[in-house]
Amino acid sequence: MTTGGSWRERRRAQQLADPHAAEKRARLLEEMGTEDRDSEEIEAEHRASRLAAVREYDPSARLEEELQLRLSGPDAEGGALRFQWGDALLSPVEGVLSAAAGSPVELELTGISVGSTVIHARPVTRSSTQEPPEQEAPVLDAPVPSTTGMGMHALAKVLTALESGQDIREWARLFDAVDGLARALGKYRLDLGMTWYAADGRMRRAQLTERGRHHIEQLRETSPRDQEIIISGRITELRESGWIKVKTGTAKNAPAYDVHFDEPGELLRMRPVLGDNVHFRVRFRQRLDAVGIARSTEYTYLGPAAEQPPLPLDV
């Protein structure tokens, strides 16, 4: 038995009795249109709306910033954070944001929630016991982006490029930091999703999955680049294993090169002495990764330079 107040139940009963109800609902949805938005995007819009409402009364108002890290993988479905993950992952996240921002970023953990494993963090703020700095300039209408926010803005571009297999040489300065994070994730077979909620209500997201980590592995591969150069200077160190250090000037910070002899006996036959002036032809070899970073350099002796007669050999 229904009452006069249970209109929802009566309406539901009418729809169940109507054979064309499903068709009517589909037509109504088509006319109204649908939104393809997830809960995070909706939350970001709500945050921006709340900020706009509060700023009607307090133009200097701003929202609390938050960084959400979502870990997913075979061992992350229980919604728990293993101690070894925290030790291995949280520091690289802080480091990669610092590298992206070009300034140190400090984060603090505020909570963990279920949904794979979701870590909530925020930038470390000035202690409440300290006096805030005096503001000489007037308060701006829009909140000034924080260091963490600027770092997330740059990092999102890099991770998006990695996930799509693009060239990231534009962000070569960030590659080592991103590579360190990728190695930590790969060790535990984890994917990382990052969501940044800014003080102005905006949201920025990025992720580093197995696809991005695979692209990073490809970018790590190096290839040699050789060129012949002349090294002139005085000998400052000798090693029987076939190494000689040549310093190119008398200044304390003058460049010095470790020259390797493929045949150590050739170096011994020269009878070099510390302080001798030498003029060598050497092969300068760099091993460059796909981003253009030199991962190793070496100098190999080829022979005396043409401008100088060879050192006497013991024949």
Residue-level pLDDT at 64: 84
Domains recognised in the chain with CATH numbers: 42-125+145-220 (no CATH), 223-304 (2.40.50.140)
Query: Is 77 in contact with 88 (CB distance < 8 Å)?
Result: no
Residue-level pLDDT at 135: 46
- Who's near 27: CB < 8 A, 6+ residues apart? none
| Secondary structure tally for the chain: helices H, strands E | 8, 10
Residue-level pLDDT at 68: 92
Residue-level pLDDT at 139: 44
Residue-level pLDDT at 94: 94
- Who's near 35: CB < 8 A, 6+ residues apart? none
Residue 143: in which H helix or E strand, if any? none
Q: What are phi and psi of 4, to 5 degrees?
A: -65, -25
For residue 220, CA distances in Å to 45, 97, 176, 295 come to 39, 21, 10, 9
Encoded tokens for 236: 């400052």
Residue-level pLDDT at 128: 38
For residue 158, CA distances in Å to 106, 167, 201, 218, 293 come to 20, 10, 22, 15, 16
DSSP, res 293: -
DSSP, res 92: H
- Who's near 231: CB < 8 A, 6+ residues apart? 246, 248, 257, 259, 278, 279, 280, 282, 299
Residue-level pLDDT at 232: 92
Cα angle value 205/147/81 (rounded, 5°): 50
HSE, side-chain direction, 13 A CA sphere, residue 175? 20
For residue 71, CA distances in Å to 43, 76, 95 come to 20, 7, 18
Q: How confident is the chain (315 residues) per 10-residue block, as mean pLDDT?
A: 51 65 67 60 72 73 86 79 84 94 92 80 68 44 73 94 93 95 94 90 90 96 94 91 90 91 86 90 95 94 74 50
Integer Cα distance of 307 and 282 in angstroms: 14
Global pTM reads 0.71
Residue-level pLDDT at 264: 83
Residue-level pLDDT at 25: 67
Provide the residue type at 100 as one letter: A
Give the rounded distance of the alpha carbon of 184 from its chain centre: 12
- Who's near 79: CB < 8 A, 6+ residues apart? 112, 113, 114, 115, 116, 117, 118
Encoded tokens for 12: 């539901």
HSE, side-chain direction, 13 A CA sphere, residue 136? 0
